[in-house]
Amino acid sequence: MKSETGFDPALYDRFPTAGERPESELKELERIWCAPKGWQLLTAVNNNYIGFFYVAAAFLFFLLAGILALVMRVQLALPLQGILPQETYNQFFTMHGTVMMFLFAVPMVEAIGVLLLPQMLAARDLPFPRLSAYAFWAYFVGGLCFFASLFFGLAPDGGWFMYPPYTSITYSPGINADFWLLGIGFIEISAIAGAIEIIVGVLRTRAPGMTLDKMPIYAWAMLVLGVMIIIAFPSVILGTLLLELERAFNWPFFDPTRGGDALLWQHLFWFFGHPEVYIIFLPASGLVSMMVATMTRTPLVGHYLIVLAFLATGFISFGVWAHHMFTTGMPNLSIGFFSAASMAVSVPAGIQIFSWIATFAVGKPRYNVPTLFLLGGIVTFVIGGLTGVMVAMVPFDWQAHDSYFIVAHLHYVLIGGMVFPMFAAFYYWTPMISSRALSERLGKWAFWLMFTGMQVTFWPMHLVGLMGMPRRIYTYLPGREWEVINMISTVGAFMLAAGISAFLIDVARNFRFTTDNDAGNVYGGGTLEWLPTGLYSARSIPVVKSREPVWDDPHLAKDVKAGRYFLPGSATGLRETLVTSPVRAEPQYLQIMPGPSVWPFLAAVFTAGFFILLTIQAYMPSFACGILAVVCVLRWLWDTDRLVKEPEVDVGAGIRLPTYVTGPRSHGWWAMVILLIVVGMIFVMGVFSFFYLYGVQPRFWVAPADLWSLAIILPAYGAAAGLAWLARYMLAREATEHWTPGVLFLCGAIALAIGIGADLWSWIASGLRPEASGQGATVYALLSLEAMLATISLLMASYISARNSRGMIVRPRNNSLDLCVLWVIYTAGQGALTAVLTRAVGG
Amino acid sequence: MSRPISTLRASAEMTNGSIFPVFDPAGPYAGSITTLTWVLIAMFVAVLGVVISALWIALRGSGQLKARLGGTRAIWIGGIGFPVVVLTALLVYGLTLTRNLTAPVPQDAMRVRITGEMWWWRVAYLDRSGRPFMLDANELHIPAGRPVLLELESNDVIHSFWVPQLSGKLDMVPGRRNTLPIQADAPGVFAGQCAEYCGGPHALMGFVVIAHEPAAFDRLMATRRARRPAPDARGRQLFHSTGCAACHRIAGTEANGMAGPDLTHVGSRRSLGAGILPNNRGTMMGWIGDSQSIKPGNRMPPYKTLSAAELQALAAYLEAQR
């Protein structure tokens, strides 16, 4: 057998080990992973708790946004009703879309991942538990405040897509639009944090032997999801930054009279917005694939094809964004490309559908509640997919676009592709976290009411769209027979709501959260999450030999529970998990995990406070919150990256692994690289905006580029990168007490500041002003991004110095320093590119 | 809400327009899309039929049928081969149609500039050199049987021009000019509505296109060109003293405001308030007196201090502007 890391796979044969493990070992494990009680639960970081809170919170937002929809359906049941006044209705539909997409769908798919992945991969926890806790609390607190804006009439009313110029300060002078822009700031943060967690979790914390080939299909879906989030979200992050800069400081990114362009926003928004649909759909498809296999008691037919389909979907989905813009007057060539790509993306969907059908054909399906939701979801999704093919046909889209036909289409896709699979998953995985399974009888009521209600609500909308009813209208005039159809839709909406109520009753009656006394493998699933678990996940981490180990090894559950595999107890007396190699999942080292802490929670509260207070223009309290948030984050990091006294421990059967590694092997390094990809994508979208506006309105590119200033800027950035690298180099050659690496790092950060300062000065001297033109706005926006990174570098320098003075920057290699050095080198590179690219055109 | 709802009427009703405009095209630009729509509906039914049959076989079929379906070969055929064939055929059809629909119209086609406003439509008939020679609002007259090229622009936010019986929709983007050809094969009246959310009363932003026999169209244009401003002295005086003229223009008078809809031919319009009220003396008085209760959020302030007699005089004056 080949090896990826030099680990000898023959060592796997030592498992399961013979003999009994000492009783005290399990007690110790329980003590170490014991969750805080009462109010202290706010400090919990374990994925069982955070994942459950996360799912519950996302579901709460689903209910809230659903209630908004019901009120809108009442308003539209008859023409010219006055139940919701115009401005309230406009806020309602904006919030319905925004909350469903940003506060329900994306958080929900990440939440289910947080809850399921560690168990499914037999990891003790996700690799960054405190980051999970932070992401959850920032999302929850911020999301509730954002939703509350409705009660004060301050909710955004620009639609969930927020097209300028309607959302510019001229046409939306209130702070409502700012609520949207800043309000989703923390959602962007938590989505990115979740993605980093999920990618590193899937690639680095799989059970030994779980090669990519043996990885559950759901983990594949989540891996693609993570990658899609880190590529797609930066686009909307940049878009919201630019729109807020335009609103707050009058920088004309989207104002055509000063060299901006309204369509720039649409490109940025939909480059995120369309992959977003697949970000929601792929994880659900992963869940469906898992459940179809269990419900038919047969391995998924076409496993590899589905993996390929996920990858293809992820790839193609980045080439379809402009199909939301077919009616903006695009040139035919672009139309052809985006039309073809939009159709191509339905091929991977076809693969998934037919794989599930083939699996049903091979196995003997059981008709329980999850199966019903799966079948209902498949049929509904296929209908939505087919109307999707229809609107990918450009001339038809010219009729259907922005009509109720699209409302029908997108609800079929999202409800069939994500909501029904989610309910199937709720029924299927509840026994994993509840001491009782949900009821089959109530579940069938829930399914049939929801399925029928869904069809009755949304099927007629296809028709009323083709009858000429546009979207986003708060009322309509009598005399066109729209009222009949709208009344049917409203009745359907209440049936759908009744179905969801049946589910809620079921949950109230039967759901009892537990971490160690769950109902068990009720449906007979074959993957690792069905092993007996406690808060520490599986008692011992098994060697995985197939894709459905629980099916293939009847002794597995017993052996795992008896501690006959990896890590039967705690090797260091701390929370820990195995980190394995990305492809073949060979054990590499033992990660020491942080335990409960109040700092992620406080950091999250202050982050949410920062954004919300900034929105209501309470600047001083806002900045105070921002500073406190940074302090809390640093305080939580302070506990991390420490050596334990054993450099190497026995992780079971005499296999010894290190407890501290640095460089590309460490999980921290992976997280930093992914974060830098995110930052890099934000930069790429910024550069795109710069060249896009130049292409559209070159006559506003009048400020001369000062090429001589590069003679200062580029060497400064070069010095920054060199000094940072030198800090790392010197570390290995210095005694612990020495301050040289800290000082070198600080000098690197200062060199960054000099570079950005020189760049800024050069543009100011050339007379360019950010509010003057598209050129000014984009140049200063790119400089602001760079300045932000440089500021973080300075913060890192003080953090490194502080740690060094306490002897915590250990020699010869240290993760904290390594990661900060990566950041500085990246920042220097981006700064140099900024300086060169902004001078490439114009003047 | 205190709103005279009984008078609000969809422009379709005022215009005897179609209930199913997408399936009831009035000209070639909409007609070819209707054909496409039927093809797509057939595709929808056929593919959904295939998928549901396959699902049915998988769940309830005989052992032999299930065996055929249960393997990667079925995925290759049903999930890859079948969609690729259907989609490729559709794509070729769709792109060819797109090219035909965006083909240039004859140079001598009539051109009209329509500018989206919050929440109405500015209409300017253009001469051969592209200069406006006649202004109007919320209503477009065209000759039947000839292509007409619309120049679509916006003065504020994004709107979208959509008269489904004549063509698909096209956005009006500030800072850009999109062109949309339309054609009605026979005389008729066709309703449209703004299709891009533009805030406030976006829901109440209708439009009407009226196609005439070419001879009748030429007569209409000639009559309009030869018009003299209505002589109603009392109404005219009120129009100026009340401030209407600050926002509204009536050609041939001192009224030269450009912020609101041009009222030169308002008396001949079929609807008021951008396609939401039938145009008669009563609705005109109601609109002037308190348009906010009819179309909340529109840019025209209410004139509640005007007496009934004054409203009557103003409405009569405007009614005469034809």
CB contact under 8 A, A351 and B12: no
B contacts of A328 (beta carbons < 8 Å): 171, 173, 178
CA–centroid distance for B173 within its chain: 16
Give the 3-state DSSP-derived string for A29-41, with helices as H, strands as E and coil as C: HHHHHCCCCHHHH
Tokens 């193609």 sit on residue: A316
A contacts of B200 (beta carbons < 8 Å): 86-87, 90
Sequence length of chain B is: 322
CB contact under 8 A, B296 and A351: no
d(CA A56, CA A33): 22
At residue B11, the pLDDT reads: 53
Q: Mean of the per-residue pLDDT values for chain A?
A: 95
Domain-by-domain residue ranges, chain A? 53-510, 600-639, 677-838
Q: State the smallest CA–CA distance between residue A29 and chain B in angstroms.
A: 45
A contacts of B99 (beta carbons < 8 Å): 332
Contact A49, A135 (CB under 8 A): no
pLDDT-wise least confident of A308-312, A380-384, A579-583, A638-642: A638-642
Residue B2 gets which letter from DSSP? -
CB atoms within 10 A of CB B101: 21
Confirm or reject contact between A473 and chain B (CB < 8 A). yes
Q: State the smallest CA–CA distance between residue B144 and chain A in angstroms.
A: 22
User: What ipTM goes with this model?
Assistant: 0.96
Packing angle between helix A217-249 and helix A667-696, nearest 10 degrees?
Answer: 50
A contacts of B20 (beta carbons < 8 Å): 466-467
CATH 2.60.40.420 fits B233-319, yes or no: yes
CB contact under 8 A, A389 and B43: yes
For residue A393, give the nearest of B13, B36, B162 by CB distance: B36
Contact B262, B136 (CB under 8 A): yes
Residue A323's identity, in one-letter code, is H
pLDDT digits (tens, 9 = 90+) for A773-804: 999 999 999 999 999 999 999 999 999 999 99
DSSP H/E element including A663: none
Closest chain B residue to A88, measured at CA: B200
d(CA A282, CA A222): 8
What backbone phi and psi angles, to 5 degrees, belong to B277?
A: -130, 140
C-alpha torsion angle, residues B10, B12, B18, B22 (rounded to 10): -70
What backbone phi and psi angles, to 5 degrees, belong to A529?
A: -65, -15
d(CA A128, CA A358): 38
Say which CATH superfamily domain B110-219 falls into.
Answer: Cupredoxins -  blue copper proteins (2.60.40.420)
Tokens of A248: 């707050």
CB contact under 8 A, A379 and B160: no
Contact A238, A181 (CB under 8 A): no
A contacts of B57 (beta carbons < 8 Å): 361
Domain-by-domain residue ranges, chain B? 23-101, 110-219, 233-319
Q: State the smallest CA–CA distance between residue A321 and chain B in angstroms.
A: 17
CB contact under 8 A, A329 and B36: no
At residue B10, the pLDDT reads: 56
A contacts of B71 (beta carbons < 8 Å): 301, 358, 362
A319-324, long-range: CB < 8 A, 24+ apart = A320/A274, A320/A345, A321/A267, A321/A270, A321/A271, A321/A273, A321/A274, A321/A275, A322/A267, A322/A270, A323/A274, A323/A391, A323/A392, A323/A397, A324/A266, A324/A270, A324/A273, A324/A274
Q: State the smallest CA–CA distance between residue B234 and chain A in angstroms.
A: 35
Question: Could you tell me which residues come within 8 angstroms of residue A563 by beta carbon, excluding any fewer than 6 positions away?
Answer: A21, A25, A26, A539, A540, A569
d(CA A656, CA A638): 28
Residue A537's identity, in one-letter code, is S
Q: pLDDT tens digits for chain B (322 residues)?
A: 344 445 666 555 555 578 899 999 999 999 999 999 999 999 999 999 999 999 999 999 998 999 999 989 999 999 999 999 999 999 999 999 999 999 999 889 999 999 999 999 999 999 999 999 999 999 999 999 999 999 999 999 999 999 999 999 999 999 999 999 999 999 999 999 999 999 999 999 999 999 999 999 999 999 999 888 767 788 999 999 999 999 999 998 999 999 999 999 999 999 999 999 999 999 999 999 999 999 999 999 999 999 999 999 999 999 999 8
H-type helices in A317-439, by residue range?
Answer: 332-344, 346-362, 369-392, 394-400, 404-414, 420-433
In angstroms, how far apart are the furthest CA atoms of chain A? Answer: 86
For residue A480, give the nearest of B8, B13, B67 by CB distance: B13
Confirm or reject contact between A386 and chain B (CB < 8 A). yes
pLDDT-wise least confident of A108-122, A297-311, B228-242: B228-242
Sign of CA dihedral A585, A588, A589, A591: negative
pLDDT digits (tens, 9 = 90+) for A422-439: 999 999 999 999 999 999
d(CA A469, CA A400): 10
Question: Could you tell me which residues come within 8 angstroms of residue A549 by beta carbon, excluding any fewer than 6 positions away?
Answer: A526, A527, A528, A542, A556
Sheet holding B120-126, edge to edge: B132-137, B120-126, B110-117, B148-154, B178-182
Q: State the smallest CA–CA distance between residue A414 and chain B in angstroms.
A: 18
Burial A18-37 (b: 16+ CB within 10 A, else e): eeebeeeebeebeebbebbe
Q: State the smallest CA–CA distance between residue B281 and chain A in angstroms.
A: 21
For residue A479, give the nearest of B10, B54, B160 by CB distance: B10
As a CATH number, domain A677-838 is 1.20.120.80
Sequence length of chain A is: 843
Q: State the smallest CA–CA distance between residue B151 and chain A in angstroms.
A: 11
For residue B44, give the nearest of A90, A390, A399 by CB distance: A390
Contact A26, A580 (CB under 8 A): no
What backbone phi and psi angles, to 5 degrees, belong to A576?
A: -155, 160
Confirm or reject contact between A362 and chain B (CB < 8 A). yes
For residue B158, give the nearest of A262, A302, A361 by CB distance: A262
Q: State the smallest CA–CA distance between residue B232 and chain A in angstroms.
A: 34
Interface of A with B in 507-546 (CB under 8 A): none
At residue B4, the pLDDT reads: 45
In this model, does residue A632 exceed pLDDT 90?
Answer: yes
- DSSP for B271-309? EETTTTEE-SHHHHHHHHHHHHHHSTT-SSPP-TTS-HH
Q: State the smallest CA–CA distance between residue B216 and chain A in angstroms.
A: 29
Interface of A with B in 544-573 (CB under 8 A): none
Question: Could you tell me which residues come within 8 angstroms of residue B39 by beta carbon, excluding any fewer than 6 positions away?
Answer: B93
In this model, does residue A246 exceed pLDDT 80?
Answer: yes
Closest CA to A604 of A204, A88, A57, A96: A57
End-to-end CA distance of chain B: 33
A contacts of B179 (beta carbons < 8 Å): 329
Interface of A with B in 73-132 (CB under 8 A): 80, 82, 85-87, 90
Q: Do A53-510 and A677-838 fold alike per CATH? A: no
Q: Do B110-219 and B233-319 fold alike per CATH? A: yes
For residue B80, give the nearest of A350, A390, A393 by CB distance: A350
CB atoms within 10 A of CB A1: 7
d(CA B275, CA A239): 36
d(CA A53, CA A56): 5
CB contact under 8 A, A256 and B175: yes
Mutate to test the interface with B, among A161, A393, A403 (most CBs of B within 10 A): A393
For residue B33, give the nearest of A262, A398, A478 by CB distance: A398
CB contact under 8 A, A468 and B191: yes
Cis peptide bond prior to A812, omega within 30° of 0: yes
At residue B37, the pLDDT reads: 97
B contacts of A361 (beta carbons < 8 Å): 57-58, 61, 66-67, 69-70, 74
CB contact under 8 A, B40 and A332: no
For residue B174, give the nearest of A165, A354, A383 by CB distance: A165
Is B133 in a helix, a strand, or coil? strand
Q: State the smallest CA–CA distance between residue A333 and chain B in angstroms.
A: 10
In this prediction, residues A303-325 reach a mean pLDDT of 95
Closest CA to A497 of A70, A61, A58: A70
Q: State the smallest CA–CA distance between residue B83 and chain A in angstroms.
A: 6
Say which CATH superfamily domain A53-510 falls into.
Answer: Cytochrome c oxidase-like, subunit I domain (1.20.210.10)
Give A153's pLDDT tier (boundaries 50, 70, 90).
very high
Tokens of A480: 């066109």
At residue A638, the pLDDT reads: 93
At residue A739, the pLDDT reads: 83
- DSSP for B154-181? ESSS-EEE--TTT---EEE-TT--EEEE
A contacts of B5 (beta carbons < 8 Å): 80
At residue A101, the pLDDT reads: 95
pLDDT digits (tens, 9 = 90+) for A384-413: 999 999 999 999 999 999 999 999 999 999
Q: How many CB pairs under 8 A join A and B?
A: 274
CB contact under 8 A, B33 and A395: yes
pLDDT digits (tens, 9 = 90+) for A486-528: 999 999 999 999 999 999 999 999 999 988 888 989 999 999 9
Sign of CA dihedral A628, A634, A638, A639: positive
DSSP H/E element including A534: strand A533-534
At residue A1, the pLDDT reads: 53
B contacts of A358 (beta carbons < 8 Å): 58, 69-72, 74-75
Tokens 């959310």 sit on residue: B197
Closest chain A residue to B95, measured at CA: A336
For residue B98, give the nearest of A261, A332, A378 by CB distance: A332
CB atoms within 10 A of CB B254: 11
At residue B1, the pLDDT reads: 39
CB contact under 8 A, A477 and B22: no
CB contact under 8 A, B19 and A480: yes
DSSP H/E element including A497: helix A482-510
In this model, does residue A843 exceed pLDDT 80?
Answer: no
B contacts of A375 (beta carbons < 8 Å): 55, 59
CB contact under 8 A, A80 and B5: yes
